[in-house]
């Protein structure tokens, strides 16, 4: 069945698909807000594997991709798009520019002036850890030995001026802009064709890149082209589009999600907590052919060449897809706004759901910046919180700022550290959310004035 909003093939199982078009979902607002909090939590304590895994297990990036496909698919369906000429329109790219590109340009400009300020006052440029280059980078001379110059190639691909954690998502959004109409067109021809094609493209990429020697060499040299490749999330985008037809968890059309979530859940659990739950898993000959030892658990052998595919691949994406359907089922579509408490809750999630892109941009900069103090001494705001709240408790156990192992802590100390970590996550969320609110106001204010100026020039 195509995605036409005028299609006459309707049965009881499909009724909710028409209700979804052009509608704002409270469930989506909740998921987007929770996901961005999980992203900040993961970037706050990425070195603390026990707590980091709890946030990552939710798979917030994949869930974002499912929501992205769902939201844009609903938008195209509402507009009754069928032709590529309608999808690749001036209005489409104009909306994308103001919604995604302009805020990126603005945060880059703000970052440049922050960098210029510190250089003019300290003589050093800001440095920070780049997920793009897997090392400390800076745009000029800095106070930390061993840094690398920021690679302009990645900057031109869409990474922010300060290429901090989460920068790859921005690059994927830029790619999404160009490929989404093609994906939607496949689903408009037939949803099964669209979903199968998305899964086939993603699986082909994941099998070809690690196994063909010339390709392996190229992507080892330019690994970010794999890490930030939108094709590795094609099935997630496809699932989001699939759900605009029917997001009922118990629909016959979604039964494959319930079936596939079982192996997906098993793979994720074994990946994050395999050492604890199944220390002898590889004693089984069958399991040896499927899994290999990786970190604190086990991962699928076919994804052994690139670590970030071990827990993020076609087979694990059915878990966040199941979470999506489950939350769409158990949470209400709308709260009763006649009740003051319900209205407040609804406004809270709607506000921060609309802010997620600005929050993402702000947190990329926030977690990147190493403020130069003196030669060899820089500090991030996040590390300052760690040093102030947690280091005094963990230092007697020989734990500094490297890898947190709660097993060597006493029970009381572990609980205390866990609560303090939650407190630091709360502080980081409060700071980042506040800055994002300000940034969005500035962004929308400048956009409003530029659009007014454009209208005057036309006259």
- The pLDDT of residue 20 is 47
Element holding 206 (H helix, E strand): helix 191-211
Q: How far apart (Å, rounded) are the C-alpha atoms in residues 428 and 422? A: 10
In terms of DSSP H, where are the helices of 158-190? 167-189
Positions in the chain short of pLDDT 70 = 1-23, 46-55, 213-221, 304-309, 336-338, 376, 395-407, 409
In terms of DSSP H, where are the helices of 280-410? 285-290, 318-330, 340-354, 356-368, 381-389, 391-394
Q: What are the structure tokens assigned to 173, written together?
A: 């959004």
- The pLDDT of residue 15 is 36
- The pLDDT of residue 178 is 95
Name the nearest CA neighbour of 240 among 25, 93, 33, 9. 25
Which residue shows structure tokens 């919180």?
A: 385
- The pLDDT of residue 289 is 83
Neighbours of 47 (CB within 10 A): 12
Torsion of CA 212, 215, 217, 223, to 10 degrees: -120
Q: Which residues contact 89 (CB under 8 A, 6 or more apart)?
A: none
- The pLDDT of residue 372 is 78
378 forms bridges with which residues in the sheet? Answer: 372
Q: Do residues 418 and 390 touch, judged by C-beta distance below 8 A?
A: no
- The pLDDT of residue 29 is 93
- The pLDDT of residue 306 is 61
Q: What pTM, to 2 d.p., does this model score?
A: 0.88
- For 343-400, the pLDDT digits (tens) are 888 888 999 999 999 999 999 999 988 877 777 677 777 777 777 777 777 766 666 5
């Amino acid at each position: 069945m195509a995605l036409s909003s005028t299609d006459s093939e309707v049965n009881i199982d499909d009724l909710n698909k028409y209700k979804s078009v052009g509608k704002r979902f409270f469930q989506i607002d909740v998921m987007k807000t929770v996901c961005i909090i999980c992203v900040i939590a993961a970037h706050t304590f990425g070195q603390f594997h026990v707590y980091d895994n709890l946030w990552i297990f939710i798979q917030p990036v994949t869930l974002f991709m499912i929501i992205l496909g769902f939201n844009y698919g609903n938008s195209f369906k509402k507009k009754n798009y069928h032709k590529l000429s309608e999808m690749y329109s001036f209005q489409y790219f104009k909306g994308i520019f103001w919604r995604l590109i302009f805020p990126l340009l603005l945060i880059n400009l703000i970052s440049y002036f922050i960098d210029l300020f510190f250089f003019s006052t300290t003589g050093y440029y800001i440095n920070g850890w780049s997920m793009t280059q897997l090392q400390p980078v800076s745009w000029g001379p800095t106070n930390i030995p061993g840094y690398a110059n920021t690679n302009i190639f990645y900057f031109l691909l869409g990474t922010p001026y300060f290429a901090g954690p989460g920068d790859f998502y921005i690059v994927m959004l830029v790619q999404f802009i160009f490929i989404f109409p093609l994906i939607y067109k496949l689903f408009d021809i037939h949803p099964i064709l669209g979903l199968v094609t998305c899964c086939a493209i993603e699986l082909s990429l994941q099998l070809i890149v690690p196994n063909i020697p010339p390709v392996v060499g190229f992507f080892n040299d330019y690994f970010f082209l794999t890490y930030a490749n939108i094709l590795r999330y094609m099935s997630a985008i496809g699932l989001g589009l699939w759900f605009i037809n029917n997001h009922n968890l118990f629909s016959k059309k979604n039964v494959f999600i319930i079936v596939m979530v079982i192996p997906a859940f098993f793979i994720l659990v074994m990946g994050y907590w395999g050492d604890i739950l199944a220390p002898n898993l590889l004693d089984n000959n069958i399991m040896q052919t499927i899994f290999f030892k990786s970190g604190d658990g086990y991962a699928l052998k076919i994804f052994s060449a690139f670590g970030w595919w071990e827990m993020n691949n076609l087979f694990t994406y059915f878990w966040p897809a199941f979470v999506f359907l489950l939350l769409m089922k158990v949470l209400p579509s709308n709260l009763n706004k006649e009740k003051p408490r319900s209205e407040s809750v609804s406004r809270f999630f709607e506000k921060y759901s609309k802010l997620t892109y600005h929050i993402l941009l702000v947190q990329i900069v926030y977690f990147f910046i190493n403020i130069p103090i003196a030669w060899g001494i820089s500090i991030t705001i996040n590390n300052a919180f760690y040093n102030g709240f947690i280091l005094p408790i963990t230092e007697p156990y020989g734990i500094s700022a490297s890898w947190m192992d709660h097993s060597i802590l006493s029970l009381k100390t572990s609980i205390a550290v866990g609560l303090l970590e939650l407190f630091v996550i709360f502080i980081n969320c409060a700071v980042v959310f506040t800055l994002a609110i300000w940034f969005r106001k500035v962004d929308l204010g400048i956009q409003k004035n530029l659009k007014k100026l454009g209208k005057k020039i036309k006259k």
